[in-house]
Amino acid sequence: MQKSVCALVCAAAAALAAPALQAAPEAVSGATVKVNIQGGAMPENVDAVTSASVVPEKLRQKIVPNGFTRDGKAKRVLFVVGDPRHESVEWDLVNTAAKHFMEKGLEVEIRDLYKIGFNPVLPLESFFHAKDGFGPAPKDVAVEQLIVSAADYIVFCYPNWHDSPNAITKGYTERVFSKQFAYRDTEKGLEGLLKDKGIFLIMNAGWVGMGRGSVGDGIPQKAGEKSNPIWDSYMTAYKTVWDDTAGFWGVKNLGQFVNDRTPGNHDADYAEKLQKLRDDLKASLDRNFGLK
Ligand SMILES: Cc1cc2nc3c(=O)[nH]c(=O)nc-3n(C[C@H](O)[C@H](O)[C@H](O)COP(=O)(O)O)c2cc1C
């Protein structure tokens, strides 16, 4: 009896879940090819049928960061990247931004979190270091703190996986931006310790209301709209979270470049669309970082 009740409940739950899955943002992603592979083996032509973005090989960029020098004359930009797939549009945006900063005379470092095997989990052993600044920083955290200290700008880059920094990037903020390094208590309250630095977000998304840029840059859905309210509410949410974090650390939030107009993987005019995306990102960086 118990078993059959459970079977009924489980079947009902599965039936309820099905429409929700179809309505998920991924289903309307610009990169999405409308095929539905339900479980089973990995398809051989995964590049052709994935709903993830895949930049065609001939259009991929390989960028070598020029690195931070010791003389400190040029502004230094640190990219903290949490994306396992180097063929993604997210990585194309990282490479586009890194190249643009270098062309404008800035120094660039890229921390590829998957490549360096960054451990994002804040464990019990170093919990009180992160929370209160007690004890020495774990070795891997100390390395990252040196690099963060040297940077003028920190650009966080990750694909939108459930509307928050993805796990590896979020873990970087939890472990590296620890108390006594990024902020401390004073008699007047919390003091951010990373003054004179700026942060920025570059995020590729599947569907956040249609737009490119930040608040106010949505594609209007009705006559008379300048942006669109769905896009603006997503952008305001992301901005609010990063504004709050910036306040903690004492840094300035310079803004965000979010894209949910990814070219479809098989669009005939893919190259033009990708170029437009790169140009839009560069214009956003020029504006937000005051580049000339
Ligand atoms: C685990 C997971 C969760 C996702 N959640 C969202 C989401 O909440 N909102 C969204 O817009 N896209 C979501 N997506 C879709 C990705 O943002 C989308 O595939 C986008 O193309 C990612 O950028 P990339 O292809 O450059 O890596 C999700 C993708 C994954 C893998």
User: What is the domain-level CATH number for residue 262?
Assistant: 3.40.50.360
Residue 203, pLDDT score? 98
Specify whether the CB–CB gap between 258 and 211 falls below 8 A: yes
Number of domains in the chain: 1
**Per the domain annotation, does 45 fall within a domain?**
no
Distance 26 CA to ligand 1 centre (A): 7
Cα 38 to averaged position of ligand 1 atoms, centre (Å): 18
* Domain presence at residue 162: yes
pLDDT of residue 5: 47
131 belongs to a structural domain: yes
Q: Model-level pTM?
A: 0.89
Which atom of ligand 1 sits closest to the CA of residue 207?
A: 11
Is 172 a member of any domain? Answer: yes
Which of 21, 26, 166, 270, when mutated, tests ligand 1's pocket best, judged by the most ligand atoms within 8 Å of its CB?
26
Question: Mind spelling out the 3-state secondary structure of the chain?
Answer: CHHHHHHHHHHHHHHHHHHHHHCCHHHHCCCCCCCCCCCCCCCCCHHHHCCCCCCCHHHCCCCCCCCCCCCCCCCEEEEEECCCCCCCHHHHHHHHHHHHHHHCCCEEEEEECCCCCCCCCCCHHHHHHHHHCCCCCCHHHHHHHHHHHHCCEEEEECCCECCECCHHHHHHHHHHCCECCCEEEECCEEEECCCCCEEEEEEECCCCCCEEECCCCECCCCCCCCCCHHHHHHHHHHHHHHHHHHHHHCCEEEEEEEECCCCCCCCCCHHHHHHHHHHHHHHHHHHHHCCC
Would residue 38 count as lying in a domain?
no
Q: What is the pLDDT of residue 71?
A: 84
The Å distance, Cα 163 to ligand 1 centre, comes to 9
| Residue-range definition of the domain harbouring residue 221 | 54-289
Output the ligand 1 site: residues, CB below 6 A: 25-26, 29, 31, 52-53, 83, 85, 88-90, 159-163, 204-208, 262
For residue 204, which atom of ligand 1 is closest to its CA? 23
CA of 205 to the centre of ligand 1 (A): 5
Q: Alpha-carbon dihedral of residues 242, 176, 163, 99, nearest 10 degrees?
A: 80
Q: What is the CA(74)–ligand 1 centre distance, in A?
A: 35
The number of the ligand 1 atom at minimal distance from the alpha carbon of 89 is 26
Query: Of the candidates 201, 180, 186, 200, which has an alpha carbon nearest to the alpha carbon of residue 249?
Result: 180
Dihedral over alpha carbons 249, 251, 253, 254 (to 10 degrees): -160
In a domain, 30, yes or no: no
pLDDT of residue 3: 45
All residue ranges of the chain with pLDDT < 70 are 1-41, 43-49
pLDDT score recorded for residue 20: 38
Dihedral pair phi/psi, residue 269, rounded to 5°: -100, 35
Residue 14: inside a domain, yes or no? no
Residue with CA closest to ligand 1 atom 29: 161
Atom of ligand 1 nearest to the CA of 160: 17
Task: Answer yes or no: is 202 within a domain.
Answer: yes
